[in-house]
């Protein structure tokens, strides 16, 4: 299994010949989608959904109904490649088992309408060899813009660390409650470098004593 961090909330996962790209939005370098076998989109905000990036690939796009409707309205040429998944649905993307988890975006302000948002829990068979557990499956969870976990053990949490809807204490508690042994920072282009350094320090202070690994990677680096 290979997990590559791209701009902001975008992560590319390669496993046993399959390549899945999650949330290649407007802050993401276009090459993130090159060679993709499937693209998953958590919600319709432009930092997660960018039509130009989707046009760069001919991969199928799997996403929730609200995103499919936004694509149909704004980029109808892409609609024929879009498949809709429902919250709680289990499906296959490029041969990988995926579950759509949760239904709503985190609260930015109570007076805003809440957008639909489903995270994705991927189960990668045999990837446990990358963590010293030969033959075991590895689960990877991308929550989109939400701090709701999947309600079950996760091996790798893609952890939002900066957002208008996020306090650092909430990110810490989300990571501790999820208790994934490995945490990879995403949603990290909202803060300045100084702000991200402070977020990193706080997260390491709380996660590492609990035996939970935390990493924030530069674009194009692998976990």
| Domain-wise residue ranges, the chain | 2-215
DSSP 51: H
Helix (H) or strand (E) holding 185: strand 182-186
Q: Give the distance, in angstroms, between the CA of residue 101 and the centroid of all CA atoms in the same chain.
A: 12
pLDDT at 131 over 60: no
- Give the C-alpha separation, 212 to 166, whole Å: 20
Read off the pLDDT band of 56 (50, 70, 90).
very high
pLDDT at 128 over 70: no
The 10s digit of each residue's pLDDT in 76-98 is 999 999 999 999 999 999 999 99
The 10s digit of each residue's pLDDT in 191-211 is 999 999 999 999 999 999 999
Q: How far is CA 99 from CA 26, 91, 122, 202, 213, in A?
A: 25, 6, 7, 30, 24
Task: Determine the 3-state secondary structure of 198 from DSSP.
Answer: helix
pLDDT of residue 136: 82
Q: How far is CA 179 from CA 71, 138, 140, 190, in A?
A: 35, 14, 12, 25
Between residues 132 and 198, which one has the greater pLDDT? 198
The backbone region for 8, taken as left when phi is positive above 0, alpha when psi lies in -120 to 50, beta otherwise, is left
pLDDT at 60 over 60: yes
Q: Give start and end residues of each alpha helix (H) in the chain.
A: 51-55, 65-74, 168-178, 193-207
Percent of the chain with pLDDT over 90: 95
Q: Which residues of 43-76 are buried (b: 16+ CB within 10 A; e: fewer)?
A: bbbebbbbeebbebbebbbbbbebbbebbeeebe
Which residues are CB-contacts of 180 (< 8 A; sequence separation ≥ 6)? Answer: 141, 153, 154, 155, 156, 157, 212
pLDDT of residue 126: 83
Q: In the CATH hierarchy, which top-level class contains the domain 2-215?
A: alpha beta
Which residues are CB-contacts of 107 (< 8 A; sequence separation ≥ 6)? Answer: 114, 165
- Give the C-alpha separation, 43 to 70, whole Å: 10
Average pLDDT for residues 149-162, to the nearest whole number?
96
């Amino acid at each position: 299994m290979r997990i590559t961090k791209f701009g902001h909330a975008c992560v590319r996962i390669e496993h046993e010949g399959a390549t899945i790209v999650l949330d290649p939005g407007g802050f993401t370098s276009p090459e993130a989608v090159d060679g993709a076998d499937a693209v998953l989109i958590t919600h319709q905000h432009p930092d997660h959904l960018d039509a130009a990036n989707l046009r760069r690939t001919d991969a199928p796009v799997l996403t929730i109904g609200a995103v499919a409707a936004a694509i149909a309205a704004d980029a109808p040429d892409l609609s024929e490649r879009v498949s809709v998944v429902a919250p709680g649905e289990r499906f296959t993307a490029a041969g990988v088992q995926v579950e759509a988890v949760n239904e709503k975006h985190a609260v930015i302000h109570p007076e805003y309408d809440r957008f639909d948002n489903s995270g994705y829990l991927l189960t990668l068979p045999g990837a446990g060899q990358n963590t010293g557990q030969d033959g075991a499956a590895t689960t990877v969870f991308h929550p989109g813009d939400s701090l709701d976990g999947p309600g079950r053990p996760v091996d790798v949490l893609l952890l939002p660390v900066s957002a208008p809807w996020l306090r650092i204490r909430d990110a810490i508690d989300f990571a501790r409650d999820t208790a994934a042994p490995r945490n990879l920072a995403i949603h990290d282009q909202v803060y300045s470098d100084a702000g991200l350094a402070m977020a990193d320090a706080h997260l390491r202070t709380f996660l590492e004593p609990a035996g939970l690994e935390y990493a924030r990677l530069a674009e194009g680096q692998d976990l």
